[in-house]
Amino acid sequence: MGEFILKKAGLNLHIDRKRTLLVIVFFSVISILLSVITSVSTNKDFIQLNSLMHSDYEYTAIMQKPIDQDNYYQFNAGVYFAVSPHAEKRLNVEILMQAIEVEYTDLVYWNAEELGTYDVAISQSIADDNGLEIGDKLYSKHIVDGTVYEYSVVEILPDVANVRVSEEKNYSAGIIIMGFDKQYVDNITHHSLVFTREPVDVLASQYSDMPESIRYRTDEILAISKELLPYLILFVVLSALNMAGLVFFITKEITTNYRRLIMLGFEKKMLNESYKRLVIGKGILALIITISTSVVVSSIVGFEPTRIVFLMIVMFMEFITLLWMSAILNRRLWRA
């Protein structure tokens, strides 16, 4: 009977539940804000990284002659699209045109099906930003004849920020792919942008045209990863400090009662287990709140697997911080 009472008493560290709940909510809100700020500030990088990770070409290059696979035309003149015939605001997008007699494969994550002359495929972010669906219309003033033409949205592509990663990191709102238009190709200066796994010398020999401005996909992935790294390190550090702060404040709430129980002769093992159940339990509750909210935020700004992997890494680091900080503070309670 005495042992039962002792165990029951050892489980009660007399914490103020309302104040503890406020502390958990406060630190969870800080963690959520960190997640939101990081998600918004790195959104385009994660979108582009996800696109590159899902593609399978080795490099992109510019050629003067088209090839028969994964080849697009890019025009030097300013082709643009708008959501209405007389809209002054142009969509901030990169524009490609399909070539005829070209096979578009799964080497490129966002490749479109074959398009008609007045069809377009748009990336997901353009659709989301402008409330566009399949069957809706976009408008573009033809550079050759000056007529404003109506284009039908026939496909929504996976999200992508840019066709290629530039050194300036000036991301667009997405890409638009046009169907082949002979007037443009015959009258406007252009080049061919190819996505390929063919060795450079083989490609040059096969098409009698040396690829230029070669950009390897692995280099693009590395460039984006380097761009993301400072944000991610800062996020991990601040998240870990936030969790450490939560453990510190919860420990502070029970310090007086914990030391009183030590002086009354309660077993060290029992008190330590009670401390761990309390502190780690509250920390896990805060983590669950943060994870749930972060998943919601990620689904809003873009549910890319690369972003989810990063969030899981952050949550793992917070959990390690929770265990580490609680162990340190638990030992300090016994040294005082």
Q: In what order do the strands lie in the sheet with 148-157?
A: 137-141, 148-157, 119-123, 175-178, 94-98, 71-75, 190-196, 59-63, 212-216
Q: Name the residue with tokens 């530039």.
A: 166
What integer pLDDT is reported at residue 122 of this predicted model? 96
What integer pLDDT is reported at residue 6 of this predicted model? 40
Q: What single string gives the DSSP state of each residue in 29-66?
A: HHHHHHHHHHHHHTHHHHHHHHHHHH---SEEEEESS-
Band of pLDDT at residue 2, cut at 50, 70 and 90 = very low
Residue length of the chain: 336
The C-alpha torsion from 269 through 270 and 273 to 279, rounded to 10°, is: -120
Q: Which residue intervals of 162-304 are DSSP H helices? A: 182-187, 200-207, 217-263, 268-301
C-alpha to C-alpha distance for 25 and 21, rounded to whole angstroms: 6
Round the average pLDDT of the chain to a whole number and report it: 86
Q: What is the pTM of this model?
A: 0.79
Question: What's the pLDDT tens digit per position in 86-135?
Answer: 877 889 899 999 999 899 999 999 999 999 999 999 999 999 999 999 99
What integer pLDDT is reported at residue 167 of this predicted model? 67
Q: Determine the average pLDDT of the residues in 7-12.
A: 48
Is the pLDDT assigned to residue 298 strictly greater than 90?
Answer: no
What integer pLDDT is reported at residue 196 of this predicted model? 94
What integer pLDDT is reported at residue 115 of this predicted model? 94
What integer pLDDT is reported at residue 169 of this predicted model? 64
Question: What's the pLDDT tens digit per position in 182-234?
Answer: 999 988 888 999 999 999 998 888 888 888 999 999 999 999 999 888 988 99
- For residue 208, count other CB atoms closer than 10 A to its CB: 7
SS3 state of residue 151: strand
- Rounded to an integer, what is the distance from CA 268 to the centroid of its chain? 46
What integer pLDDT is reported at residue 31 of this predicted model? 85
User: Is residue 139 within 8 Å of residue 82, measured between CB atoms?
Assistant: yes
Pairing of strands 148-157, 137-141: antiparallel
Is the pLDDT assigned to residue 176 strictly greater than 70?
Answer: yes
What integer pLDDT is reported at residue 301 of this predicted model? 59
Is the pLDDT assigned to residue 288 strictly greater than 70?
Answer: yes
Is the pLDDT assigned to residue 299 strictly greater than 70?
Answer: no
